[in-house]
Chains A and B, each alone.
Chain A
């Protein structure tokens, strides 16, 4: 470590702009050569740091209590009206990719070209800007590039956000986490439980009247697709609880003529009596009343 075991050795600071050029052998001065009030890290400085830390922590806690972390509604991939929005610190990139010449045919320039040059430049800054000068006003190229990038990033972020709020306005949308929070607040004011947004899994519905003779027809014709336990498989729906979805007349129609999406017609395979027997049984397949 910097101290070693020799008690008279101090941390040696190097790469300093106060070091004059061409003064023979360069032995950078350590802080004892600067008139100033250095202090030990422990305990003097650390105590002050902790005081600042406490103030920051209290402020942060007040913020989290005043502003609950947002949570919208459960992810629904079929929701076509949702306006996607990345976290705020990605907005500048998100907005940047909306401009012509960095999107569509030129997307390579947008996702790779320009960001690679900019981030690569930032990553390798010490190897690109190798001058000894440290003061920013004496390094016009590096400083102005940084200022320009800063202005661009702030501009893109602001534009992206105002574009988003404008879109919310024209589509007359309120962000989900606001809607949800508002509903919860209203419910609490009325003294009710906040509405639950969690989808409850449907309780499994048992087969009603499994000993019915219609079961023989079901076993012969239906279980190939609708599974042996009639709970459905893949895109084939469950037959348990089917009586809640369709009336007997609708079931007769579906079984006789089939249905788009894979249900074949059984009008030619089963007699009218069999279909009647089957659909009477199917119509009885209802979830138990609560």
Chain B
């Protein structure tokens, strides 16, 4: 039954090459921790992606309860954290996952740097990877404000004030982030939109580019 359905689709769309390319690509010995334990350093990229998937999934569940306005934001997080079944765990995964993504991505970057894997012909993939790094930092910064507690409020205030000190464009950046002149209702909805729509969209596009390039070029050879 399943096979018939698959064949029916495959006849029309020729989907076999798409997944066979992913399925059959070789994992060489030098990156396989089963053969050389030290090759675990090659796992950090995959783990970053794994935690990113957890972030996306837990974030999707958080938006079921979170209300992005200054009157209800804190109350909704409080309710989610303490009243909703497993809400504390889902929020905990999103909160600590944010740190874990940064750690894993940092380790992955160091692995790529110290194995010289960013060199020709993989320059573009390195640049895309760095853009992913900056997007992740942006996600961390915008997500920090959303619970709307004192820590969130004052950290964001300080952060935007630092951005404001950039010459010429600083005041414009600050106004863009604030949505006005202070951290307020506009700032919260703005950060919510950036955190939930703009940056994840950019992140997914960049990840697609990152993975396409690694499939096209293969993993870098042994040293």
Q: Report if A134 contacts B (CB, 8 A).
A: yes
Nearest chain B CB to A87's CB is how many angstroms away?
A: 5
Nearest chain A CB to B163's CB is how many angstroms away?
A: 8
Of listed B23, B25, B34, B93, residue having the most chain A CB within 10 A: B25
* Distance between Cα atoms of A196 and B151 in the complex (Å): 18
Q: Is the CB of A45 within 8 A of B27?
A: yes
Q: Report if B38 contacts A (CB, 8 A).
A: no
Q: Is the CB of B220 within 8 A of A2?
A: no
* Contact pattern, A 59-75, Cβ under 8 Å of B = 1, otherwise 0: 01101110111111111
Which of B33, B126, B150 sits near A73, CB closer than 8 Å? B150
Q: Report if A108 contacts B (CB, 8 A).
A: yes
Given A84-B157, A85-B155, A125-B126, the answer on whether A60 and B26 have CB atoms closer than 8 Å is no
Of listed B120, B121, B151, B154, residue having the most chain A CB within 10 A: B151
* Distance between Cα atoms of A111 and B166 in the complex (Å): 6
* Distance between Cα atoms of A134 and B111 in the complex (Å): 12
Q: Is the CB of A2 within 8 A of B166?
A: no
Given A2-B21, A2-B218, the answer on whether A136 and B114 have CB atoms closer than 8 Å is yes
Q: Report if B137 contacts A (CB, 8 A).
A: yes
Q: Is the CB of B23 within 8 A of A136?
A: no
* Contact pattern, B 210-223, Cβ under 8 Å of A = 1, otherwise 0: 00000111111111
* Distance between Cα atoms of A150 and B126 in the complex (Å): 18
* Contact pattern, B 1-45, Cβ under 8 Å of A = 1, otherwise 0: 000000000000000010011111111111011110000000100
* Distance between Cα atoms of A44 and B89 in the complex (Å): 32
Main secondary structure of the interface of B (DSSP, over half): helix
Which of A17, A41, A63, A142 sits near B26, CB closer than 8 Å? A41
Which of B21, B32, B75 sits near A3, CB closer than 8 Å? B21
Nearest chain A CB to B27's CB is how many angstroms away?
A: 4
Q: Is the CB of B149 within 8 A of A72?
A: yes
Closest residue of chain B to A122, judged by CB?
Answer: B130
* Distance between Cα atoms of A169 and B154 in the complex (Å): 19
Q: Report if B190 contacts A (CB, 8 A).
A: no
Point out the residues of chain A lying under 8 angstroms from B46, CB to CB.
49
* Contact pattern, A 167-210, Cβ under 8 Å of B = 1, otherwise 0: 00000000111000000100000000010011001000000000
* Distance between Cα atoms of A136 and B154 in the complex (Å): 41
Q: Is the CB of A111 within 8 A of B47?
A: no
Nearest chain B CB to A236's CB is how many angstroms away?
A: 21
* Distance between Cα atoms of A110 and B164 in the complex (Å): 12
Q: Report if A217 contacts B (CB, 8 A).
A: no
* Contact pattern, B 83-117, Cβ under 8 Å of A = 1, otherwise 0: 00000110111111111101000000010011111
Can you name 19 extra interface pairs (CB under 8 A) apart from A84-B154, A86-B144, A86-B159?
Answer: A3-B17, A11-B26, A28-B221, A34-B28, A37-B35, A41-B24, A41-B25, A63-B92, A65-B89, A67-B96, A71-B81, A72-B150, A73-B149, A74-B74, A75-B70, A75-B149, A85-B154, A86-B155, A110-B165
- Chain B residues with a Cβ under 8 A of chain A: 17, 20-30, 32-35, 43, 46-47, 50, 54, 70-71, 74-75, 77-78, 81-82, 88-89, 91-100, 102, 110, 113-123, 126-127, 130-131, 134, 137, 140-141, 144, 147-155, 157-159, 162-163, 165-167, 170, 182-183, 215-223
> 4 closest Cβ contacts across the A-B interface?
A134-B116, A64-B92, A36-B29, A126-B123
